[in-house]
Amino acid sequence: MKKVSFLQSIHVKFVLIYLLLILFAMEIIGVYFVNKLEDKLVKNFKDSIELRTKTMQYSLLEVLMDKEDQETPLKIKKVLSGYNSSDIAEVRLVNNRSVILGTSDSDNQGLVGQKMTNDLVKLSINTEELQDKVYFDPSTHKRIYVLASPLKNNGKIYGYLYLVTKIESVYNQLDEINNIFTTGTAIAMVLTAILGIVLAQTITRPIADMRRQALAMAKGNFSRKVKVYGNDEIGQLAYSFNHMTKKLQEAQATTEGERRKLTSVLSNMTDGVIATDRRGRVILINDAATEMIDVSRETILSQNIVTALGIERDHSFNDLLNEKESIILDFSTDEEPYILRGNISVIQGETGFVSGLIIVLHDITEQEKIEMERREFVANVSHELRTPLTTMRSYLEALADGAWQDKEIAPRFLSVTQNETERMIRMVNDLFKLSKMDRADDPLNKDWINFIEFFHHIIDRFEMTKPEYISFKRKLPNEALFVEVDEDKMTQILDNIISNAIKYSPEGGQITFRVKAQEDSIEVSISDQGLGIPKDKLKKIFERFYRVDKARTRQMGGTGLGLAIAKEMVEAHGGTISAKSVEGKGTTISISLPFDRSLEDDWS
C-alpha cells in the first residue's frame, strides 16, 4: 500500500481544517470590526472638524458682516490663525469669486488676493453646499481630509471656508488596532493549533490504529486488535472493525484451505485444466495443461482460449459455449501423432449469466494409436491369412479337378500348399507369442549367463547352416560378461535378428557381430551389408506386420512379426532395441541389456 504523506494525514487535515475555520471566523470578525471602527473613527473625526468649522464660521461671519471695518483682513487672519492645531493643517477663507481672503498658514500669506482653482471649492460655490473629500497627498504620502463649506447667514453667503485636515492619524490608529488584532489572531491560532492537535489525537488515534490493522490485514496478519477508546461512534467503529477482522480471519482460513485443496487437486491432476472468464480470456491453467499444449503460464494467461488452443479457424468462443460435446485437438506432426480431447463445461450462475468455461484436456494419443493399430492389425492379419488361403484353395481346387493324377504337377502343388500351411502356422505361433507377452502370461525365467560364450554358441549354430556366399565377422571381447536373461527368449531374439540379416545379405556379403560393455549395460549389435532401409521407414520396422518390401518378404517366407517379437522380449528384459541403416549399404540392429559390472568379481 502507498505510504501516506504528511500533508495527506487525516491528523494534519483535521488540525488544518480546525485552524482554517478559526482563521476564517477571525477574519470575518476582523474585517467587520475594522470596517465599522474605520467608519466610526472617520465619522468622529469629520464630526469634530465640522463642529470646529461651525465655530470658525460664526467667528468669521461676525468679521465679514461688518463691511465698514477697515481691519477686516487682519481680523480674518487672526481668527484663522487661532484655529491652527495638530489636526488642521491649513484654513482658508474664499469669497464668492474664489479669491482667497485669508489663510492660517503663515508661509502661504502670499496667496491672499489670488484666485483659488481647487475643484472642491468650485463645486461648493456652484452647489452652495458643504463639500468634503479624503485625498492622498503625494508630497507627504499621507491622507488628508479637505472640506469646503459656505458661510451662510439668513440665506446669504458671505464666503467659503476651505479646510485641509490631517486625517492620517485616524488611519494610524486603525493600523495600530489592526496590528493588535493580527497579533491576537496569531496567538489565538497557535493556541488553537495546540488544542486542535490534542483534540485531533483523540479522534485520529483509533483511526490510525484501524489503518495499521488494515495494512496488517492486507499482509495476512489478523492477530492484531484495534483498541477501543470509548463508546462513541468511533469506539463503535473500532468494535465493529475488530469483529470484521475476526470474521475475515475465519473466512480467509476457510478460503485458504479450499484454495490449497483446489491447488493440490489441479497440480496433481494428470488431465489438463484451463478456465476462462466470460470473454474467453484464460484466467487459470494447471501444470499438466501447460505441458500438454506446450506453452508457458505467463504466455497463455489473458490470451483468448481459441487462440491458445490454435482452433481460431474452426471455432469461436461462442461456439465453445454452445458446444455440448468434447472437441478434438490434433497437434500431430509428420514424425509423431499427438491428439487431445477437450471436455467443455460452462460456468453459469442461477440467473443464467455465463461467467466463463472450463476445458479439461485428456491425452488420447495412445488410445488413438491403439485403435489405429488394432484396425491395422486386423487388416494385416486378414491380408496375411487371405493370401496363403487363396493360394491353397486354388491349388487344392486344381488337385481336386484331377491335377493330383499328374505326377509332375501334383507334388509341386502339394509342396506349395504345405509351405503356405507352415507359414500360417508360424504366423499363428508368432501371434500367440505376442498375445502371451501382452497379457504377461509368459514370465521370464532369468538366469545369470556368460553372454559372450552364449553369443558365440548362437553364431556357431548359424555358421554351420549359412549360405557359403555370406561370411561372419566376430568382434567380441575376450572377457566374460555375465548378464541375467531368459536364455530361451534371448535365443529367439538373436535367431530372429540373425535370420533377417542372412535373408537380406547379398552374395559376398558380411555379417558383423559386436558386443561392447558400458558402465551399466552391454551393447549387442548385428550388422549386415544388405539393401538397407529407407530413413523414413526405419522407425516402423519394429511394428507388427510392417514390411519394407512386402513382396520380397513374403517370397522369403517372413511373417512381419519377428522384429516386433524381438522388441517385446528385449523390453521385457529391461533393455532397448534400435536400428541404424544406410540405404544400399546395410542395416545394424542394436540391443542394450542391463549390466552390473560390480558383480563381475563374484562370478569370477
Provide CB contacts within 8 A for 191, sequence distance 6+: none
The mean pLDDT value for 223-246 works out to 78
**Ranges 2-6, 342-346, 452-456, 555-559, most confident:** 452-456
Distance CA 240, CA 242 (A): 5
Residue 284 has a pLDDT of 85
Query: Nearest to residue 305, comparing CAs of 350, 267, 347?
Result: 347
Residue 554 has a pLDDT of 47
Rounded alpha-carbon distances, angstroms, from residue 541 to 48, 382, 549, 566 = 133, 20, 11, 11
pLDDT of 267 over the 90 cut:
no
Q: Mean pLDDT, the chain, as a whole number?
A: 80
Given this chain, do its domains 12-174 and 269-359 carry the same CATH topology? Answer: yes
pLDDT of 555 over the 50 cut:
no
Q: Which CATH superfamily is domain 269-359 in?
A: PAS domain (3.30.450.20)
Q: Which of 144-158, 233-247, 311-325, 544-558 is the least confident region?
A: 544-558
Distance CA 581, CA 533 (A): 6
> Which pLDDT band, with edges at 50, 70 and 90, does 7 fall under?
low
Q: 123-144 as b/e, with b when 16 or more CB fall inside 10 Å? A: ebbeeeeebbeeeeeeeeebbb
Burial of 318 (0-12, 13-18, 19+ CB in 10 A): exposed
pLDDT one-digit tens code per residue, 316-326: 888 787 866 77
Task: Please count the other Cβ atoms lying within 10 Å of the Cβ belonging to residue 315.
Answer: 14
Residue 98 has a pLDDT of 83
If one compares 190 and 383, the residue with the highest pLDDT of the two is 190
Sheet of 576-582, strands arranged across: 471-475, 510-517, 521-527, 586-594, 576-582
CATH code of the domain occupying 369-438: 1.10.287.130
Q: Which of 4-8, 225-229, 378-382, 497-501 is the least confident region?
A: 4-8
Residue 527 has a pLDDT of 92
Distance CA 475, CA 103 (A): 151
pLDDT of 426 over the 70 cut:
no
Q: Which residue has the cell 501447460?
A: 290
Residue 209 has a pLDDT of 77
- pTM score: 0.40
pLDDT one-digit tens code per residue, 152-191: 888 788 888 888 888 888 888 888 888 888 888 888 888 8
Provide CB contacts within 8 A for 91, sequence distance 6+: 56, 80, 83, 84, 103, 104, 161, 162, 163, 164
> Which pLDDT band, with edges at 50, 70 and 90, does 435 fall under?
low
pLDDT one-digit tens code per residue, 66-83: 665 556 777 777 777 776
Residue 397 has a pLDDT of 81
Residue 428 has a pLDDT of 72
What are φ and ψ of residue 12, in 5° steps? -65, -40
Residue 473 has a pLDDT of 92
Query: Nearest to residue 557, comparing CAs of 460, 463, 357, 418?
Result: 418
pLDDT of 552 over the 50 cut:
no
Rounded alpha-carbon distances, angstroms, from residue 498 to 92, 232, 528 = 151, 99, 9
pLDDT one-digit tens code per residue, 507-530: 888 999 999 988 888 999 999 988
Task: Please count the other Cβ atoms lying within 10 Å of the Cβ belonging to residue 101.
Answer: 20
Residue 430 has a pLDDT of 64
CATH code of the domain occupying 446-603: 3.30.565.10
Residue 224 has a pLDDT of 72
Longest dimension (CA), the chain: 199
Residue 472 has a pLDDT of 92
Residue 214 has a pLDDT of 77
Q: What is the dihedral angle through the alpha carbons of 121, 125, 131, 132, rounded to the nearest 10 degrees?
A: 10
pLDDT of 247 over the 90 cut:
no
- Taking the domains of the chain in order of start, what are their residue ranges? 12-174, 230-266, 269-359, 369-438, 446-603
- What proportion of the chain, given as a percentage, has pLDDT over 90? 5
Residue type, 385: L
CATH code of the domain occupying 12-174: 3.30.450.20
The mean pLDDT value for 585-603 works out to 77
The mean pLDDT value for 236-246 works out to 81
Whether the CA torsion 158, 159, 164, 170 is positive or negative: it is positive
Q: Can you give the three-state secondary structure of 93-133, one letter per residue?
A: EECCCCEEEEECCHHHHHHCCCECCCHHHHHHHHHCCCEEE
Helix (H, G, I), strand (E, B) or coil at 491: helix
Distance CA 130, CA 271 (A): 109
pLDDT one-digit tens code per residue, 387-408: 677 777 887 888 787 777 777 7
The mean pLDDT value for 89-101 works out to 83
> Which pLDDT band, with edges at 50, 70 and 90, does 62 fall under?
confident
List the end-to-end C-alpha distance of the chain, in Å, as a whole number: 74
Residue type, 91: V
Grid coordinates representing 573 are: 528384459
Residue 525 has a pLDDT of 92
Contact 94, 107 (CB under 8 A): no
If one compares 604 and 170, the residue with the highest pLDDT of the two is 170
Residue 526 has a pLDDT of 92
